[in-house]
Amino acid sequence: MSADLLDLPSNAALNAVTHNYDVVVVGGGIVGLTFACGLRHTHLRVAVIETQTAATAANRQRAYAFSPVSAKILAGLGLWDEVEPQLTHFSRVKLSDADYDKAITFRPEDGNSDAVYYSAQHFVLMAALQSAVKAAPNIDYWCESKVMETCEGKASSRTELAISHGDTQMQFCTGLVVGADGARSVVRDQAEIETFGWKYWQSCITAVLEPEHSHENTAYEKFWPSGPFAILPLPENRCQIVWTAPHEEAKALLALPKEQFLAELTARYGDEMGGLKLLSEPMMFPVQLMQSKAYVRPGIALIGDAAHCCHPVGGQGLNMGIRDAIALAEVIENAAKQGEDLGSLAVLKRYERWRRTENWFTLSLTDFLNRSFSNRFLPLLLSRRAGIWVLDSVVPLKRLILRLMTGFFGRLPVSAKQNTL
């Protein structure tokens, strides 16, 4: 049975039925669907449970800096041909220290790839993943259904989930619950998994705009003392900005009349692309660093923002989540082939060992970038600017930095390694 929203019987019938699955994925965002997609050619029965309608879940107004490793993962899932024409391929990425003229410029040849990075709009990734999941005979995609509670099942090593769908309640039973339910994960809370981290002093403003001149597929990360300011090129000569600033400043910026907001924006954006026209209402998001103290418990695994969150500098959050998803899918598929208990710690720890340390590294890198570039202490400022000269001129060093930022330093899933994108 595979449908956008399954036909649900009446209340009484629902209460009487327990739906049994090998794996239940809580959260049908990009990360949850990537994981489910990774299991679509197995014999495992998988349910994806998503609070929102499929259309609402797909319609988030956000674009992501999408790494070449994530591109290889999509290719491994057989979705690249559909997604690739709708992405913007970055021909250059420029990293600079505020308005200092010299920048580190990354080009595709520095990473032996057809693009330094890509920008991907949320709905493009979601559309491809949703249709793959809907077409998979072994996956049920339950939308407008919310996981309220998880508890140990009556049978050993099974977990039961209480799900609400409007006024009705359902019960699911499974050997493995995968928490892909975002930063405020119910699965993580119910499993009593603690987290480590902090909220940043900054908030993040996003908006879409149209510059007067072509963006030439160039992405920018400008490190202002108040926080990083990123420009992502989008199709049709639009750009998305991700602008971090201390909370009070961010709030005050959003409260400005449009003309003044644009003037402030232009001061950070620079004049390379001429005048700017706002195409969307600016939105504000909180920024935090969070790492779960464990990614797994017996019968439970966390992936994506449920497991970790990071500062948006460098566009790492979703890319880490996609790598988690495919790593867990690979571990589970291999364990299923060996007839192992999928929810056992012996199996799940393989995923945790693979991903948790790698994610620590990326979380630390984003924290380091944000803190060190926000600092105006003169000796630090001078060494940073000297560093920009060195990094831009010493090609092997520049390539190393690019590998760190794109996720190539870590262990790649087999499907991504086999892919020659």
Ligand X SMILES: Cc1cc2nc3c(=O)[nH]c(=O)nc-3n(C[C@H](O)[C@H](O)[C@H](O)COP(=O)(O)OP(=O)(O)OC[C@H]3O[C@@H](n4cnc5c(N)ncnc54)[C@H](O)[C@@H]3O)c2cc1C
CA distances from 263 to 162, 215, 249, 260, 278 (A): 51, 19, 15, 5, 11
Q: Does 405 bind ligand X (CB under 6 A)?
A: no
Closest by CA to 297, choosing from 182, 181, 152, is 152
C-alpha–C-alpha distance, residues 295 and 301, integer Å? 6
Residue 27 CB, shortest distance to ligand X, in Å, is: 3
Binding of ligand X by 160 (CB under 6 A): no
Which 8-state DSSP code applies to residue 410?
A: S
Q: How is residue 310 written in tokens?
A: 């990071």
Query: In this chain, which of 186, 253, 348, 369 binds ligand X, going by CB under 6 A?
Result: 186
Residue of 23, 36, 46, 65 interacting with ligand X (CB under 6 A): 65
Q: Which of 176, 138, 118, 145 is nearest to 57 (CA)?
A: 145
Candidate list 253, 318, 326, 327; residue touching ligand X; CB under 6 A: 318
| Interface positions, 280-309, toward ligand X (CB under 6 A) | 285, 304-305
85 torsion bin: left (phi>0), alpha (psi -120 to 50), beta (else): alpha
Window 321-340: contact mask with ligand X (x via CB under 6 A)? x-------------------
Distance CA 160, CA 73 (A): 31
Cβ 331 to ligand X shortest distance, Å: 18
Give which of 305, 347, 407 is closest to 68, Cα–Cα: 407
CB distance 99 to 132 below 8 Å: no
When asked if residue 49 is in the footprint of ligand X (CB under 6 A), the reply is yes
Residue at token pair 């600033």: 245
Minimum CB separation of residue 35 from ligand X in Å reads 9
Give me the residue label for tokens 């794109």.
406
Tell which positions 162-181 bind ligand X, by CB under 6 A. Answer: 180-181
State yes or no: residue 358 binds ligand X (CB under 6 A).
no
Residue 391 Cβ vs ligand X, minimum distance, rounded to whole Å: 22
Alpha-carbon radius of gyration of the chain: 22
Residue partners of 368: CB distance under 8 A and separation at least 6: none
Q: Which is nearer to ligand X, 280 or 393 (CB)?
A: 280
Query: x/- contact string, 205-234, with ligand X (CB under 6 A)?
Result: -x----------------------------
Q: Binder to ligand X among 32, 153, 175, 228 (CB under 6 A)?
A: 32
> Rounded to whole angstroms, how far apart are CA atoms 393 and 401?
13
In this structure, what token pair is assigned to residue 48? 């994806």
Q: Between 317 and 413, name the residue whose CB sits nearer to ligand X.
A: 317
CA distance 71 to 85: 12
Tokens 């005048």 sit on residue: 275
Q: If we measure between CA atoms, which residue out of 109, 113, 36 comes closest to residue 77?
A: 36
Beta carbon of residue 207, minimum distance to ligand X (angstroms, whole number): 10
Quote the least distance from Cβ 300 to ligand X, whole Å: 14
Token code pair at residue 7: 């036909």
Site string for ligand X, 76-115 (x = CB under 6 A): ----------------------------------------
Question: Where does this chain touch ligand X (CB under 6 A) — which range of 9-17, 192-200, 310-318, 360-368?
Answer: 310-318
Closest CB to ligand X among 385 and 409? 409
* Contacting ligand X within 239-258 (CB under 6 A): 242
Shortest Å, Cβ 324 to ligand X = 8
Three-state DSSP class for residue 286: strand
**Count of chain residues binding ligand X (CB under 6 A):** 33
Helices (H), 136-283: 186-190, 247-255, 258-269
- CB-nearer residue toward ligand X: 291 or 344: 291
How far is residue 48's CA from residue 147's CA, in Å, rounded to a whole number?
11
Q: Is 124 helix (H, G, I), strand (E, B) or coil?
A: helix
Least distance in Å: CB of 20 to ligand X? 18
**Taking the complex as a whole, how short is the minimal distance between the CB of residue 366 and ligand X, in angstroms?**
10
Using CB under 6 A, pick the residue from 143, 147, 331, 348 that binds ligand X. 147
Q: Out of 217, 319, 359, 374, which residue is the one contacting ligand X (CB under 6 A)? A: 319
Q: Which of residues 12-31 bind ligand X (CB under 6 A)?
A: 26-31
CA distances from 185 to 94, 191, 332, 337 (A): 35, 10, 21, 30
Task: List contacts with ligand X (CB under 6 A).
Answer: 26-32, 49-52, 57, 64-65, 146-147, 180-182, 186, 204, 206, 242, 285, 304-305, 312, 315-319, 321
